[in-house]
Chains A and B, each alone.
Chain A
């Protein structure tokens, strides 16, 4: 039988944890579903205790990770949500998890906190083993206590690269370089007001720079990876200046065994899209986000989306959004919530969003990623579809991501387009001289994550 509950929260990063803890504090029973073995998501990721417990990254993380140990919170770890469907007075969630996990839950209100993944950036050789995302490298060195490689190149944009550089240097890796595709953020001084008070972040940035300086590693501004080379795995990285439209000017080729890509993040909008709420394109972050009201409710009543899964804003925006959505969900479920309480959270959120806005302004999307594409570059990693094949489909008249999916199979593989969707849209935009959003989004189809066939069956039928 499908179990009926009041509130489901999907994702146990800062946004989902904060939503669950806030709801529990209001006496609202909440089911928190998380794909990972341990709660925390990416920002509050926990090192498995067997590898030596590490302190939570900040006081909020400590409070929230403790806070879900509450009678009103049921945590379903290692569990994927593969379907989300509106029904009368609520939503049907389809789950797949360890034995004993419910397969179907009907929730009157749902808060999605699905997070984001590193923006995939195709270039020749990017499918070679040894080319990994900055997020993967950070997880390996910080939470799995293993060096992903010995001699490592970082290419991307923004301050998270510095944090990764510091961890890699401290772990004994040799950095072949840290490349930032943007120029030095000279306009930073203009944002002093919004940065004021963000001491913890400034300290982290400063310490990262000092570690890099001691290791003799500088940032090369306006540079990025151009090509990865090697037999069976990465052995060399060709790097070049930005912009570099014909890829002809190569600064140098450096011997490396690992290349980390940190070009920003893409929200995981698969579930909110499947549910059917409206989404909009945000050109400043080059992402799609669900349309939300002030209380973070989507265009579907009782469905909220919070954190980086809606719009990239970092852990503190995520946490406050989770809290705010929990208050809104509680109210929609009939609880009496004092307006002052909502106003307090909104005020704190506005402050964190100002800071997130500064990062957007100082470290924008690198508009020169398309320079990197050659006809034989793999665009869709799963189905092994090249840029040339997609260009041919565009030449044959395809103008949307959906049309290209049908013509080439790009986006039909196991990752369900998460790794190629943004690149396909960017390529269409470039080829046709149209805005990125004109290529649209592919039609979402369940299951939004691959699950074994038996996982599609309800317990009753099994």
Chain B
């Protein structure tokens, strides 16, 4: 069963194509055309990762690919900008990086 959280989504949803992506191991409902950042915000998640030095939480900031703060791991590729990446069916998204011991 995938998590469906449409409360923050706007406009009619019936006409959109629903997809399933995986966020930190959990199947999550998303829509074609959405960015990874949008899917995370729709889940109510603002923190996307932690920084290398101070392990401080970060999330969306500039929203246009400039600041490199919204980095997540997508299908095993690290440091991908969530705001610039459209979701695809079956996409595996990992937040919270980088890995810490």
Contact = CB atoms under 8 A, between A and B. Distances in A.
Interface of A: 35-37, 42, 47-52, 117-118, 120, 127-133, 135-137, 139-141, 144-149, 171-172, 232-234, 257-258, 268, 381-384, 413-415, 418-419, 450
A135 B63 CA distance: 7
A148 B59 CA distance: 11
A171 B10 contact: yes
Interface string B33-66: 1110110011000111001111011111111111
* Most chain A beta-carbon neighbours within 10 Å: one of B31, B37, B54, B60: B60
A136 B83 contact: yes
B63 A52 contact: no
Nearest to B65: A35
Contacts of A147: 8-10, 41
Given A51-B11, A147-B9, A171-B10, 6 more contacts: A35-B65, A48-B33, A144-B37, A147-B10, A381-B67, A418-B66
Given A415-B68, A419-B67, A51 B31 contact: yes
Given A37-B86, A130-B46, A381-B69, A140 B38 contact: yes
A354 to B, nearest CB: 28
Q: Is the interface of A mostly helix, strand, loop or mixed?
A: loop
A47 B31 CA distance: 13
Interface string B8-33: 11111001110000000000000111
Contacts of A233: 46-47, 57, 59
15 contacts: A47-B33, A49-B33, A51-B16, A118-B62, A127-B69, A129-B59, A130-B46, A146-B9, A147-B41, A233-B46, A257-B46, A384-B54, A414-B68, A418-B66, A419-B67
Contacts of A131: 61
B66 A52 contact: no
A136 B68 contact: no
B57 to A, nearest CB: 5
Nearest to A144: B38
Given A128-B57, A130-B46, A233-B59, A135 B64 contact: yes
A418 B69 CA distance: 12
Interface residues on B, range: 35 or more
Main secondary structure of the interface of B (DSSP, over half): loop
Contacts of A415: 66-68
Nearest to B83: A136
A390 to B, nearest CB: 16
B59 to A, nearest CB: 3
Contacts of B52: 384
Interface string B71-99: 00000000100011010000000000000
A139 B63 contact: yes
Nearest to A148: B41
Contacts of B68: 382, 413-415, 450
A364 to B, nearest CB: 23
B15 A52 contact: yes
B42 to A, nearest CB: 5
A384 B64 contact: no
A413 B58 CA distance: 15
B52 to A, nearest CB: 8
Nearest to A136: B63
Nearest to A383: B53
Contacts of A128: 57
A167 B66 CA distance: 23
A136 B35 CA distance: 12
A258 B8 CA distance: 14
Contact of B63 (A137, A234, A413): A137
A146 B12 contact: no
A42 B63 CA distance: 11
Contacts of A268: 66
Contacts of B10: 141, 145-147, 171-172
A234 B56 CA distance: 13
Nearest to B32: A50
B9 A129 contact: no
B46 A129 contact: yes
B53 A384 contact: yes
Contacts of A49: 33
- Nearest first, the 8 A-B pairs at minimum CB distance are A136-B63, A50-B33, A129-B59, A48-B33, A414-B68, A129-B46, A51-B33, A50-B32
A384 B56 contact: yes
A76 B40 CA distance: 28
Contacts of B84: 36-37
A55 to B, nearest CB: 14
